[in-house]
Amino acid sequence: MSLPKDLYVGFTGSPLDRAEPVRHDPEALRALATDPAALLLEMPDYLPPTENCALAWAPFTPLPAEETLLLGLIDNIPRFARIDPQAVAAKRWAELMTLLDSLSPGEAGIYAAARSVLDWHARHRFCANCGAKTAPHHAGWARLCPACGTEHYPRTDPVVIMLAEYEGRVLVGRQAAFAPGRYSALAGFVEVGESIEEAVARELHEEAGVVATSVRYIASQPWPFPSQLMVACIATVADDAITLDLTELEDAKWVERAEVEAALRGDEDAVFGAPPRYAIANSLFNAWLAGR
């Protein structure tokens, strides 16, 4: 496994030891839950509690099994979160973005794992097989249906995010919902029966009418809103003619190296506003500038 250590990728590098065997060992789980040093990540509204640019942990006291999520261990200290099926994410996106900006990628990675699993519990309370009510299982890393015995696991949905590249320029696009001036890499969900490369080529063609001739993988990132795996790629394309799908994008344009550099610096006269640092689109621009 090679991690892109020279590339900043938000939500990666979590220090969590996920202690997977403990999920299947009730005695070992009880020992961790009654460890006086155990800590709790309390996330009312799914906002990360922070202090001095790090996650703020609270003392942990054992919870009922159906509320217990064992995140894992950090420095051999057990870390838990509380499952609340009634939880609803606060619609305070700007506040969340500011909190994420204050965290290191690894600390944000702990938050990403916790948020995705807690949110999955809240949205998957019933069995997809028979419709009965399910309950948390395996220390919060699964749900079990008491009626038909099916185990359900948190899912991750792959999304490709890519820069098309043509003769020293890259293609950026903006959705109508973006902040004014913001442009980013194009992106879309990988469909059933597709490879990553095929999804990149299809999305580029659907959204911007460009034809990929080669696709190279750069890096990936868990994205906890609610549970995507972002797969970042750069694709060389056959020419620079754009045919925009206006149902997906409001605009798309080719930008040069100096224009990307200015956007990443946040220059006031930059021709576009770059995505935030913890978004892999930002890492993708940096990877392209570094010649990956």
Interacting residues toward Zn ion by CB under 5 A: 127, 129-130, 132, 145, 147-148, 150
Residues 6+ apart with CB under 8 A from 3: 12, 13
User: Nearer Cβ to Zn ion, position 56 or 130?
Assistant: 130
Strand partners, 152: 143
Q: In whole angstroms, how close is the CB of 133 to Zn ion at the nearest point?
A: 9
Return the CA Rg of the chain: 21
Instruction: Pick the closer one to Zn ion by CB: 31 or 132.
Output: 132
Give all strands (DSSP E) within 26-185, no chain letters.
Answer: 39-41, 50-51, 54-55, 58-59, 68-74, 77-82, 135-137, 142-144, 151-152, 157-166, 169-174
CB of 124 to Zn ion, least distance (A): 12
Query: Please, which residue, 108 or 145, has the CB nearer to Zn ion?
Result: 145
Q: Which is nearer to Zn ion, 134 or 221 (CB)?
A: 134
The distance of closest approach from Cβ of residue 132 to Zn ion in the complex, given in angstroms and rounded to an integer, is 5
Q: Among residues 16 and 135, whose Cβ is nearest to Zn ion?
A: 135
In b/e form, how buried is each residue of 22-45, taking b as 16+ CB within 10 angstroms? bbeeeeebeebbeeeebbbbebee
- Minimum distance, C-beta of residue 134 to Zn ion, in the bound complex (Å): 7
Of residues 132 and 258, the one with the C-beta less far from Zn ion: 132
**Of residues 48 and 136, the one with the C-beta less far from Zn ion:** 136
Find the shortest distance in angstroms from Cβ 66 to Zn ion: 17
Measured between alpha carbons, how far apart are the two ends of the chain, in Å? 18
Other CB atoms closer than 10 Å to residue 180's CB: what's the count?
A: 6
3-class DSSP state of 72 = strand
In terms of DSSP H, where are the helices of the chain? 26-33, 93-102, 105-123, 196-208, 257-265, 280-289
Structure token pair of residue 224: 């906890």
- Which among 222, 100, 207, 116 has a CA at the least distance from the CA of 162? 207
Is 270 in contact with 260 (CB distance < 8 Å)? no
- For residues 33 and 68, the answer to whether their CB atoms sit within 8 Å is yes
User: Shortest gap between Cβ of 136 and Zn ion (angstroms)?
Assistant: 15
Residues 6+ away with beta carbon under 8 Å from 276: 97, 100, 101, 282
The least CB distance from residue 148 to Zn ion, in Å, is 3
Q: Please, what is the minimum distance in Å from the beta carbon of residue 244 to Zn ion?
A: 45
For Zn ion, the closer CB: 103 or 145: 145
